[in-house]
Structure formats: C-alpha cells, structure tokens
A = this chain, B = another copy of it.
Amino acid sequence: MRRLKTLAVVGVGLIGGSFAQALKRADAGTTVVGFDRDPRALERAIALGVIDTAAESATEAARGADLVFIAVPVRQIGAILRDVASSLGPDAIVTDAGSTKAEVVRIARDALKDRLPRFVPGHPIAGRESSGVDAATPELFRGARIVLTPMPETAPDALDVARDCWEAAGGRVAITRPEEHDQIFAAVSHLPHLLAFALVSEIASRGNSQDLFGFAAGGFRDFTRIAGSSPEMWRDIALQNREALLFELDSYAGRLAVFRELIERGDGPALERLMREAKGARAAWIAGTRRSASNE
C-alpha cells in the first residue's frame, strides 16, 4: 500500500470502523479522523482506538485527508459528498461503501462537480450479524469481494489508490461499470431480499399465521434469514436501484410462471429437469467458492 498519512472515515459503524482498523494495521503511521452524526458512536470509536481524532463535521474530517471513506446509509451519501467537496485537498480521493452505484454516481456528479475525477465509487461485499463500531474488526474484509465502479471521469491514480487500500485490507477487488454492478446485485442480492421479505409478510398476514410459523423449520429459517435485515437499509436499496430491481423482479416472475405452468399441467419430467439444472448450477457455484477460498 502507498503511504496514507491521513484517512477520514465518515460513518463510524461496522464498515467504516473495520476499514479504519484494517488500514491502521497495514500501516501504523496512518492517522484516522472520524465523523459520525451519532456522537456516541464517535465516542466509542475513540475509546476503542478505531479512530484517532473526532471531527465536528464531514467537511472538517475531509480537510487534509488523503483518502475519505464514506460508510453511511446509501441515501445519505449525497449530502456527505456535498459536505466533503468543499474541504477536499487537490489530490485527495473519495470512495464510498454504498450498496447501489448508478444512483450514487448520478448524485456524485451533481455534488462533486469538478472534483468528480477524485471519486471512486465502491461496494464491499461484507457484513456481520451485529452492527455498529463495537462489532468492527480489521478482519472483516479478509477474502471479501470489493467492487469498485469507476466512472469514465475517474482519475486512474485515484482508482489505483482505492484498490491498493482495499487489497491492504485483505479484499479481493473487482472492477465493473456502475450499471453492471447494479444489475448483478439486483439479481443476486436485492431480489432475494425482496422475495424473503414478501414471503414472511404474506405468511404473517394470514389468520392462521401462528400455526404456519409453528410448523416452519430449518429450510424456512435459512430462506428467510435475510428478511431479518434492516428495513430502512433495504427500503433505500430497493428505491435507489429501482429500475434494475423491477427488471429482475419481472424476469423472476416469468420464471416462476413457467414452474407454475408445469405444476398445473402435471409435467413431472420438465419440472424435475428445471429443478435438477438449478441444483447443479448451485452445486457448481458452491464448489467454485470453496476452490477460490482455498486458493487464497
């Protein structure tokens, strides 16, 4: 990793705190300035040694920083970008951890204006059951996929620094276009979350919901685990990635209609073939993830 004298972290929760810890571990000389709209989070971050100093605002945190890492809920990224734009040094780099990217880029164009080339949109695919700075760990990103989605305007040196930092934190960096990122995550993350929320919502709405839950078992528990995620966060992701998510939802509804048709007309062989292909594709994926994990 290149020398990072000062790192600013805006949003000192699980993601922001873990990034700070990972970069401090990679280079003990890095000073971390933190800001959070929750003063208690900031106090805890100081007490835990996750950050070195607390700033009064995002603008103040960004002043003099080599890298500004924005790890706030995706809907608040625009306001933070506007705040940091005014104090950003000429060579400073800004990156974020938002779960959607095309909308963040659209907002960044407006918020950052001529500073846009210094922005590297990003999305670390990492998390834990618990949240907040107390759950932060320098190990959070070890082996995790980190997606960076540079714009045509993004300066190559800014992308390089962001990539180096994530790799120093243990992440496996992939580069895609923002729209491609959003399509991919609509399919493999946002849609499944929506499907799980909808299933629990439907069952909870029934007159006999207590009987239904009473007989639900391990398969149901795993299938709906993601319906235990933050409603605010998933509301924002669904709305920010609306177009790609609706496309995926409609494609999925079409696939479900095929299954429905096969069941209705009792076509066992075709139904089994589709299920067998799905089982095979999933098994190949799981085998691949094990292989890539053991290659690290």
**Interface of A toward B, CB cutoff 8 Å:** 125, 127, 145, 147, 174, 184-185, 187-189, 191-206, 208-209, 211-229, 231-232, 234-236, 238-239, 242, 245-246, 249, 251-253, 255-256, 259-260, 263-264, 266, 268, 271-272, 274-279, 281-283, 285-286, 288
* B residues less than 8 Å from A246 (CB atoms): 260, 263-264
Q: Do residues B201 and A187 form an inter-chain contact, with CB atoms below 8 A?
A: no
What are 19 of the A-B contact pairs (CB < 8 Å)?
A: A127-B218, A145-B214, A188-B213, A188-B220, A192-B199, A194-B256, A197-B274, A197-B278, A198-B256, A205-B255, A223-B226, A227-B275, A227-B279, A228-B282, A231-B272, A231-B279, A235-B275, A242-B264, A246-B263
A15 to B227, alpha carbons, bound, how many Å? 31
Q: Contacts A212-B184, A215-B185, A235-B268 hold; do A227 and B282 have CB atoms under 8 A apart?
A: yes
Q: Residues of B contacting A147 with CB < 8 Å?
A: 215
Task: Chain B residues near A188: list those with CB within 8 A.
Answer: 203, 212-213, 215-217, 220
Q: How far is the CB of A214 from chain B (nearest CB, A)?
A: 8
**CA A282 to CA B204, docked complex, whole Å:** 8
Known interface pairs A201-B255, A252-B199, A256-B195; A232-B184 also in contact (CB < 8 Å): no
